[in-house]
Structure 1
């Protein structure tokens, strides 16, 4: 199974560089059929004018899309007609019809100035398809002359470089981050790999390159003596983003000695298990006594040294860093308890609960105490601790779970009214959580439970437009709205100037751009990791972003809709449950392969795939092919459902841990409350997996099912009201 990134190693998150947020698609049901009304009639009027933005045309089948665009192009002059001309030309170029594409491009730069440079680029490509070399060269030259500072000029310079290398040199000097420049640099390195200055350009600007780690290794192995401290910082950042923390730490040791870099030296040594982390962290404390990274260094030190010294480090955190004092006190209490100093441990916990009552550490303590009382069948005391958490720590990680269980414990005590109030509170305050789904189910909403969710076939409505990007040039935003995702992504690589320390808006935009070109793994990661921002102003920006539908639609995209819907129908599975599992398994990356060999969207093991193929008499298949993978994976998910009489919780657990393990848990647990069973799953990974899959399912349901979305809007201010239009 695909393992998620570990968030605890992050500090000063940097962006990596793209889902089509709110993918542009007309209203569609899971039946797989378009609405009966003609798509062209729905989008265009009799006079050829458009009823909706031409950006909505992207989701139409190619032939219908071309016909719709042609109808608008024949209409009256308007901004939408210019957009239609541009999209029609792009469509024709994709089809290899360069000569036909020239007509909609004729003088389009005059009526569509925001994408004038792109118009010239398309014109040059049209001439190229026609074999008209003279006009190709002339158009590229015109682009450079008229728009010398526009990043699209990089593509012209690289194209002209074939005849005159000085143009390529100009592209490298002027637009080093443009993907076309990067491609040129890669070509030059193939011809002569011994060019450290070009290798550094890849290191600084092309984290997405397939050979990126090879480049970093070449620089550190062969050119270390030539590298400057800032070069080492870029290399270290690259290793860090690729999760090679040992190599990152070694590189940070040669970078400028800043608080962040100093901390990452120690963390890299610790995660790389190379030794020396203790000394590195101690240097951070000595060199930067008041830096926020020092608090983290002290907390790490407390895990590496003997208990007596650890307590002194934790005391130092509590004295110097109020924001981390709660965490330090909680760790101190645990250490004292391990040393049988129970009285002192209790005193420290009391200080934590009084002086730092609103800290995350206090929430963790309250929840552990609630769980202890619940396990001892003391529902009353458990509920008291859970309600204390919801009062003092409503924004903590444990709050949704504690609020839900306060309802469960209230039910055990026969307090049905209080239980109902607790479940409603989960939906109101934490509508995105796994426990919101459990609460909705307990309240009788038509969302399914563990035994019935498989059979549901919820209606799903996709958004009809894309959100506005929070940052970026006008051209970037225009290209994104038009669905010209690859061109928008290229432009973003140039515009994104500070990937090591992005703003909240930049990081969100970077995630969206990654998603738009199919980099779902890092795109979802970039968006989801915004929750880790710890500065107050950034936390407020994040909370504001969370109130927008675009944030949630970015986290829960809908790629591979057709094969998911087709094979879910064939296996009689809830298509949103299949989508939820794929999101958890692979983040929608069809070519991804785990360390143990699980491959593709549903992470099918080769041996399992061969066994399934034999069962369904499938002779030829590829695990990295989306349709084949979903065909095999859904068969196995149906199989695990059959093994457990249609119980989706056990089926999902079995998909992760295997039927043998789950069978043993069931035999041991007997007729147990399903919520208790989930909490008692002995494999930590499987317990988290089950909750994550059903949380994914619930979020797809609440975001894209009009009925549930509307119902949540009525009870929760945290649920975006504009998720989907009414069906």
Structure 2
């Protein structure tokens, strides 16, 4: 299935597209045929009356991901074709490329009359025309921007024009603030005005609401709170309850819990806000105040979902005997929290010497609330204890119900895999095979799906063979259709106009504190388009934290779509990774997997310990490696230098352990000394048991994450593995 390493690593978007990327000249018919075979089958969103003849026209969208120089000839051919949506797209994209390369006059020719043919993009065509005039040194740039503002006053494209016009006439900036408060250009205007006069509460509040995740927001909020306190002394107030909620949200998201608690206490009195006010105090170590706040929550919102959790938290802050009535109230009235409350009650009863009552409470948790997360966690803890004692039959009995009762719990794939491993030890080969197939079917994205695939005999690379593999990788070549936003936004994004699309999205995206699933997914995709991979992956991965049934159903629907997984596992820095992986004789997907875990592809990120860049190279390690390979000057924030050093060290750790990638990856995280010590302590041990028994929790999680990443890149982008996984799970990933 997966070929052993050859001289040339096969890591590209199919052989045909390799030729295209390399700059080979293809005729329009050849290009159409090629893209028809490779492109993701996503229909364009924009279908206007001008779409006549587009069925036979080659698609522009697959070209949107290519560099300008490599798509120029193909776009020119499409732009010269008969009238169609594709012709209009080609003209717009070519004009944008020309503007980026400072060729304003050429761009103007392509933009001439395009609004009438391409009405959905009319405001942005006008914006491009103004930019082209400016590059050409034509005074019509200002008139064009003024006309844009008059003709499209409600379009966020007008905010871009207002920003430029306002540099000479402040009234235009006033209009931007009034009409487009969340647009990034308006945020720039606000920051500029605050730099001259920081004591402007309304402008500070705009930053709180629309730039809450940007650096420096804490200082803005602190100043706003200070100004409000000063106003109160004068008998007035600057902030409304909803303003305090925005302030509280930002503090909470940035884990400044004490300040968040104070702000939530002044926000609108909802159960959620009351709970966070109390929880913030608890997390800040202010126990007496937290007890009072939880009591207030319980009194004001006796039936709210948050109250069940509040009662459990309150039980944590009082003496054992005082806690029991709170826990009993949870058990009686809040079934979603009852399992946790029963386990907490059992622990208190044990402390009080009531062993039988404690046992009864645990049994009730395991039967009546078998589907609770706490029941799964308790079962898994006991299963592990039994396995360590060598009683694999008992371990199997404790773990097996997790796969049935708790299918959505994070422990389910792990339990399912070990049910299979323990069944193997008990000589139950058919049961083991069924367990591994169950993990692959239900949890194809998990690390344990990879381990299951290995034990089922799939040719996907094991710990001792994964380095030598050279997987074929086929990537989708079109931008996906965004799940939220206007048709203009979706069109801009599919054309690869990431900056313009993000600007527009910021103007459209108003529901920032409680976004819908589709909005949060769109925000994640937008961030990925900008190259903010840490933010983008975080936005998308935290969709799983949704709690309401409707949101969970929507989230599960997104998980069935290829775009969800491709967004979670992107391929930036492909050429650099491929080049250095080839030179070091490393599986490029393993390198990509490690980089995703180390840095989320953020080239300038720094850890608390001082590690830098894509592969999180420590300064001392980087200097040592540089001396080994004869480099005198390097910059670990430079992606090429970082991957050059990091892959050398990964090659080194592989050589230290006879090309065992499990030990090499663990060593990359914990250091060769620690791994050698663990090997001496454990001796000859099953690799899966070795992973479970790694004494550093960080390294244990790191190993699972890196190989889980490797597996996901393999199952998402390798056609053969993708088909096998699809056969077991029924979910189509590569198409």
Whether the TM-score (by the shorter chain) exceeds 0.5 is yes
Q: How has the CA–CA distance of structure 1 residues 231 and 344 changed in structure 2, closer, same or farther, with 3 Å as cutoff?
A: same
The 5-angstrom pairing of residues 208-219 of structure 1 reads 208-219=213-224
Aligned residue for 1:520?
533
Query: Which residue, out of 237, 241, 254, partners 2:253?
Result: 241
Aligned residue for 1:195?
200
Q: Does 1:43 align with 2:28?
A: no
| Secondary structure, aligned partner of 1:317 | helix
CA distance in structure 2 between the partners assigned to 1:139 and 1:405 by the alignment: 67
CA distance in structure 1 between the partners assigned to 2:492 and 2:265 by the alignment: 41
Q: Does 1:690 align with 2:703?
A: yes
Contact 1:253 1:262 in 2 (8 A): yes
Q: Offset of 1:153 from its aligned partner?
A: 0.8
> For 1:569-616, what per-residue CA distance to the aligned partner results, in whole angstroms no more than 9, with x for missing partners?
111111111111111111111121122221111111222212222222
| Secondary structure, aligned partner of 1:115 | helix
CA distance in structure 2 between the partners assigned to 1:28 and 1:175 by the alignment: 46
Q: Does 1:269 align with 2:281?
A: yes
Aligned residue for 2:70?
64
Contact 1:609 1:632 in 2 (8 A): yes
CA distance in structure 1 between the partners assigned to 2:390 and 2:66 by the alignment: 58
Aligned residue for 1:108?
114
**Greater mean deviation of Cα atoms: 341-350 or 161-170:** 341-350
Q: Offset of 1:217 from its aligned partner?
A: 2.6
> For 1:42-93, what per-residue CA distance to the aligned partner results, in whole angstroms no more than 9, with x for missing partners?
4358999986421211233432211211111122111100000000000001
CA distance in structure 2 between the partners assigned to 1:476 and 1:30 by the alignment: 27
CA distance in structure 2 between the partners assigned to 1:38 and 1:370 by the alignment: 61
Query: Which residue, out of 317, 332, 337, partners 1:324?
Result: 337
Q: Offset of 1:208 from its aligned partner?
A: 4.3
Query: Which residue, out of 593, 596, 599, partners 2:609?
Result: 596
Q: Does 1:139 align with 2:151?
A: no
> For 1:78-136, what per-residue CA distance to the aligned partner results, in whole angstroms no more than 9, with x for missing partners?
11000000000000011011111101100111101101000000000011111212x01
Aligned residue for 1:279?
292
| Secondary structure, aligned partner of 1:462 | coil
Q: How has the CA–CA distance of structure 1 residues 138 and 542 changed in structure 2, closer, same or farther, with 3 Å as cutoff?
A: same
Contact 1:28 1:35 in 2 (8 A): no
Aligned residue for 2:212?
207
Contact 1:571 1:635 in 2 (8 A): yes
CA distance in structure 2 between the partners assigned to 1:425 and 1:376 by the alignment: 26
Query: Which residue, out of 101, 121, 125, partners 1:119?
Result: 125
Q: Does 1:334 align with 2:340?
A: no
Contact 1:640 1:655 in 2 (8 A): yes
Aligned residues: 697
CA distance in structure 1 between the partners assigned to 2:401 and 2:76 by the alignment: 63
Aligned residue for 1:17?
none
- For structure 1, the residue ranges without an aligned partner over 5 or more in a row are 1-24
Contact 2:54 2:84 in 1 (8 A): no
The 5-angstrom pairing of residues 491-570 of structure 1 reads 491-570=504-583
Aligned residue for 2:379?
366
> For 1:240-287, what per-residue CA distance to the aligned partner results, in whole angstroms no more than 9, with x for missing partners?
222333332232233223211222122222333455333322322222
Q: How has the CA–CA distance of structure 1 residues 546 and 48 changed in structure 2, closer, same or farther, with 3 Å as cutoff?
A: closer
Contact 1:245 1:268 in 2 (8 A): yes
Aligned residue for 1:53?
59
Q: Offset of 1:706 from its aligned partner?
A: 0.4
Aligned residue for 2:5?
none
Contact 1:479 1:485 in 2 (8 A): yes
Q: How has the CA–CA distance of structure 1 residues 610 and 51 changed in structure 2, closer, same or farther, with 3 Å as cutoff?
A: farther
Aligned residue for 1:585?
598
| Secondary structure, aligned partner of 1:305 | coil
Query: Which residue, out of 396, 417, 421, partners 2:434?
Result: 421
CA distance in structure 1 between the partners assigned to 2:54 and 2:545 by the alignment: 49
Q: Does 1:453 align with 2:461?
A: no
Query: Which residue, out of 75, 93, 112, partners 2:81?
Result: 75
Q: How has the CA–CA distance of structure 1 residues 356 and 707 changed in structure 2, closer, same or farther, with 3 Å as cutoff?
A: same
CA distance in structure 2 between the partners assigned to 1:48 and 1:60 by the alignment: 22
Query: Which residue, out of 14, 27, 34, partners 1:27?
Result: 14
CA distance in structure 2 between the partners assigned to 1:695 and 1:266 by the alignment: 37
Q: Offset of 1:163 from its aligned partner?
A: 2.2
Aligned residue for 1:13?
none
CA distance in structure 1 between the partners assigned to 2:33 and 2:659 by the alignment: 49
Aligned residue for 1:291?
304
CA distance in structure 1 between the partners assigned to 2:674 and 2:355 by the alignment: 37
Contact 1:48 1:73 in 2 (8 A): no
Q: Offset of 1:469 from its aligned partner?
A: 1.4
Contact 1:28 1:461 in 2 (8 A): no
Query: Which residue, out of 240, 248, 252, partners 2:264?
Result: 252
CA distance in structure 2 between the partners assigned to 1:231 and 1:507 by the alignment: 22
**Greater mean deviation of Cα atoms: 231-240 or 453-462:** 231-240
Contact 2:23 2:70 in 1 (8 A): no
Contact 2:634 2:641 in 1 (8 A): yes
Q: Offset of 1:369 from its aligned partner?
A: 2.2
> For 1:527-580, what per-residue CA distance to the aligned partner results, in whole angstroms no more than 9, with x for missing partners?
111111111111111111111111111111111111111111111111111111
CA distance in structure 2 between the partners assigned to 1:284 and 1:88 by the alignment: 59
Aligned residue for 2:475?
462
| Secondary structure, aligned partner of 1:253 | helix
Q: How has the CA–CA distance of structure 1 residues 367 and 156 changed in structure 2, closer, same or farther, with 3 Å as cutoff?
A: same
CA distance in structure 2 between the partners assigned to 1:653 and 1:605 by the alignment: 16
CA distance in structure 1 between the partners assigned to 2:410 and 2:714 by the alignment: 22
- For structure 2, the residue ranges without an aligned partner over 5 or more in a row are 1-11, 35-52, 232-237
Q: Offset of 1:394 from its aligned partner?
A: 2.2
**Greater mean deviation of Cα atoms: 366-375 or 40-49:** 40-49
Contact 1:433 1:695 in 2 (8 A): yes
Aligned residue for 1:163?
168
Q: Offset of 1:28 from its aligned partner?
A: 6.0
> For 1:446-501, what per-residue CA distance to the aligned partner results, in whole angstroms no more than 9, with x for missing partners?
11111111111111110122322121100011011111111111111111111111
Structure 1-normalised TM-score?
Answer: 0.92
Contact 2:166 2:173 in 1 (8 A): yes
Structure 2-normalised TM-score?
Answer: 0.91
CA distance in structure 2 between the partners assigned to 1:491 and 1:36 by the alignment: 32
CA distance in structure 1 between the partners assigned to 2:374 and 2:449 by the alignment: 23
**Greater mean deviation of Cα atoms: 671-680 or 251-260:** 251-260
CA distance in structure 1 between the partners assigned to 2:405 and 2:250 by the alignment: 40
Q: How has the CA–CA distance of structure 1 residues 579 and 488 changed in structure 2, closer, same or farther, with 3 Å as cutoff?
A: same
Q: How has the CA–CA distance of structure 1 residues 419 and 38 changed in structure 2, closer, same or farther, with 3 Å as cutoff?
A: farther
CA distance in structure 2 between the partners assigned to 1:30 and 1:666 by the alignment: 46
> For 1:181-220, what per-residue CA distance to the aligned partner results, in whole angstroms no more than 9, with x for missing partners?
1111111122222222111111110134333233223223
| Secondary structure, aligned partner of 2:630 | coil
